[in-house]
């Protein structure tokens, strides 16, 4: 299950860099939960060909992430945004100065990820 979630996230960020044929096969497997046999029959290729294509696409998408780090950055910024949301709902902030320090720290981390 985790592998499918990871494949979906990789595809969301980098899927447009695949060819249309690769996208169609990958989407059928990951998003439409079709079996290798179903995909092979629908596309006139072998089951092994479908398996190899999905594996190659996953490796290609992962190589983009390894170089560009877009998902890692997205997840880091999302975590910081969640901290901001928690901070806005918190009643535990002792002073205005402490709030400023926390906001400056969180915003600094977000800016670091964007650079």
Percent of the chain whose pLDDT exceeds 70 = 97
Q: Residue 84: which domain range?
A: 71-114
- Same-domain check for residues 42 and 64: yes
Tell me the three state secondary structure of residue 97: helix
- Same-domain check for residues 31 and 85: no
Number of structural domains (the chain) is 2
- Same-domain check for residues 13 and 64: yes
Stretch 56-67: mean pLDDT: 97
Residue 82 has pLDDT above 90, yes or no: yes
Where would I find the H helices in the chain? Answer: 2-14, 20-30, 36-43, 47-68, 70-89, 96-114
- Same-domain check for residues 78 and 101: yes
In CATH, what number is assigned to the domain containing residue 9?
Answer: 1.10.10.10
pLDDT at position 86: 86
Residue 50 has pLDDT above 80, yes or no: yes
Residue 93 has pLDDT above 80, yes or no: no
- Same-domain check for residues 107 and 63: no
- Same-domain check for residues 63 and 76: no
- Same-domain check for residues 7 and 62: yes
**115 compared with 11, residue with greater pLDDT:** 11
- Same-domain check for residues 49 and 94: no
CA distance 43 to 27: 13
Cβ-proximal residues to 81 (8 Å cutoff; 6+ apart), any chain: 110
- Same-domain check for residues 63 and 90: no
* 95 DSSP 8-state letter: -
**3 compared with 34, residue with greater pLDDT:** 34
Place of tokens 């996953």: 58
Mean pLDDT of the chain: 92
């Amino acid at each position: 299950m985790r592998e499918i979630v990871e494949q979906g996230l990789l595809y969301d960020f980098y899927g447009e860099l695949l060819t249309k044929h690769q996208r169609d096969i990958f989407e059928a497997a990951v998003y439409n939960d079709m079996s290798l046999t179903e995909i092979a029959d629908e596309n006139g290729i072998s089951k092994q060909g479908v398996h190899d294509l999905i594996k190659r696409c996953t490796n290609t998408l992962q190589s983009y992430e390894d170089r560009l780090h877009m998902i890692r950055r997205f997840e880091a910024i999302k975590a910081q945004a969640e901290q901001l949301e928690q901070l806005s709902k918190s009643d535990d902030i002792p002073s205005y100065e402490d709030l400023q320090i926390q906001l400056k720290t969180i915003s600094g981390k977000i800016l670091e990820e964007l650079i």
